[in-house]
Chains A and B, each alone.
Chain A
Amino acid sequence: MIALLGLLVGVAVGLATQTDVPAFLAPYLPIAVVAAIDALAGATRALLDGIFDDKVFVVSFVSNVLVAATLVFLGDQLGVGSQLSTAVIVVLGIRIFSNAASIRRKLFKA
């Protein structure tokens, strides 16, 4: 409940304030957001499975975001930045889909 509330507050603040993304963060922010969405999807699935744990969520959230950003940073340094960020997005997309499928099965029994 607190998490949902935080999400809404965050979106509202982000829309209300016209924040500029700092240049050094610009390549990583989209990936980080997708990684965080993946962590959120995993947490929702765990919640429905009845095995949700706050600490696990926090750690997985932070590590997801950091790993994704690090991969992209590494890719940029190696000169394969755009390819590697595509790869990260694809993997995260697959995970989000599979988590969403589990959630769907739990919620709708189908």
Chain B
Amino acid sequence: MRPRPSRAQIVAGLLCALLGFAAATQVRQVERADFSELRQDELIEVLDRLNSEAELLEEQNATLEGERDRLQANRNDDEAAQQAARARAEVQGILAGTLPVEGPGITLTWRDPEGQLTAPMAYLLVDELRNAGAEAISVGDVRITASSYFADDGSGHLIADGQALASPCEWRAIGDPATLQTALGIPGGVLATLRTLGGSSDVTVHESLAIDAVKRLEPLEHAAAIE
């Protein structure tokens, strides 16, 4: 009952098939949209936008890089300053007697059974050691510093920084051992005086000697550094 389709009908069917095919293909293409879809002027627009964006980002990049370099330089400065401060703190800690120290030095054992050792003699001994280049000195458990003092308690005992020193007591000094030994042995020195008073002393040289006694710093009440 179906009439034979005319040629025009077949062509129309083919055209419709072509339309369907083209439409479906186009839909697929749009789904995968990329730059190949775009027209020349649209592409130029996109390019312009990307260029200005890139410029902006470049600027931002330069700014951030400068900031980074500045921060890095600051950090290097900080590190150097910190190192210097650490070295300074060490030296000052040794000088102020707040740090335990070690190095070559001598020990001096002082025997004074009759209690003849007086504060002025102890002071002289410290002086002799300092003159011979001692960088750190201790007697018994007391670290001797610039603010140390000696006193007699009236019953033949010597007091150093408030601590009574029993005989025999041991002095430690860190410095050039040979110089220190020579300085202590000079005629008319403190040790010679001690001998004439009936005491005795031994000096021992050490390659490496430790002074563990430290001084506790009291907060300063009156003096302040001038900035």
Chain A residues with a Cβ closer than 8 Å to the other chain, count: 40
Which residues of A have CB within 8 Å of B11? Answer: 54, 58
Q: Which residues from 12 to 48 on chain B have a C-beta closer than 8 Å to any C-beta of chain A?
A: 12-29, 36-37, 39-42
B16 A18 Cβ-Cβ under 8 A: no
Cβ-closest chain A residue relative to B2: A1
Cβ-closest chain A residue relative to B6: A54
Q: Which residues from 1 to 21 on chain A have a C-beta closer than 8 Å to any C-beta of chain B?
A: 2-15, 18-21
Asked if A110 is at the interface of the complex by the 8 Å CB criterion, the answer is no
Which residues of A have CB within 8 Å of B9? Answer: 2-3, 54
Asked if B223 is at the interface of the complex by the 8 Å CB criterion, the answer is no
Which residues of A have CB within 8 Å of B37? Answer: 26
A29 B22 Cβ-Cβ under 8 A: yes
Asked if A55 is at the interface of the complex by the 8 Å CB criterion, the answer is yes
A2 B24 Cβ-Cβ under 8 A: no
CA distance A74 to B26 in the complex (A): 21
Cβ-closest chain B residue relative to A3: B16
Question: Given contacts A14-B28, A20-B29, are A81 and B39 in contact (CB under 8 A)?
Answer: yes
Interface of A is mostly: helix
A9 B20 Cβ-Cβ under 8 A: yes
Summed over the interface, the residue pairs from A and B with CB atoms below 8 Å come to a total of 114
Q: Which residues from 112 to 167 on chain B have a C-beta closer than 8 Å to any C-beta of chain A?
A: none
Asked if A68 is at the interface of the complex by the 8 Å CB criterion, the answer is no
Asked if A40 is at the interface of the complex by the 8 Å CB criterion, the answer is yes
Asked if B5 is at the interface of the complex by the 8 Å CB criterion, the answer is yes
Asked if A27 is at the interface of the complex by the 8 Å CB criterion, the answer is yes
CA distance A30 to B27 in the complex (A): 9
B28 A5 Cβ-Cβ under 8 A: no
| Smallest CB separation, A52 vs chain B (Å) | 10
Which residues of A have CB within 8 Å of B10? Answer: 2
Q: Which of A31-39, A92-100, A101-109 contacts B (4 or more CB under 8 A)?
A: A31-39
CA distance A14 to B17 in the complex (A): 9
B16 A4 Cβ-Cβ under 8 A: yes
Asked if A79 is at the interface of the complex by the 8 Å CB criterion, the answer is yes
Asked if B217 is at the interface of the complex by the 8 Å CB criterion, the answer is no
Asked if B220 is at the interface of the complex by the 8 Å CB criterion, the answer is no
Asked if B224 is at the interface of the complex by the 8 Å CB criterion, the answer is no
Asked if B8 is at the interface of the complex by the 8 Å CB criterion, the answer is yes
Question: Given contacts A2-B10, A26-B37, A76-B39, are A58 and B24 in contact (CB under 8 A)?
Answer: no
26 interchain pairs, CB-CB under 8 A: A2-B10, A2-B12, A3-B13, A6-B13, A6-B15, A10-B20, A10-B21, A11-B23, A11-B24, A15-B24, A18-B28, A21-B26, A26-B37, A29-B22, A29-B25, A29-B26, A33-B23, A36-B15, A36-B18, A36-B23, A54-B6, A57-B12, A58-B8, A58-B11, A58-B12, A76-B39
Chain A: residues with CB nearer than 8 A to chain B? 2-15, 18-21, 23, 26-27, 29-30, 32-33, 36-37, 40, 43, 53-55, 57-58, 61-62, 76, 79, 81-82
Chain B: residues with CB nearer than 8 A to chain A? 5-6, 8-29, 36-37, 39-42
Smallest CB-CB A-B distances: 6 pairs:
A10-B20, A14-B24, A54-B8, A6-B17, A6-B13, A10-B17
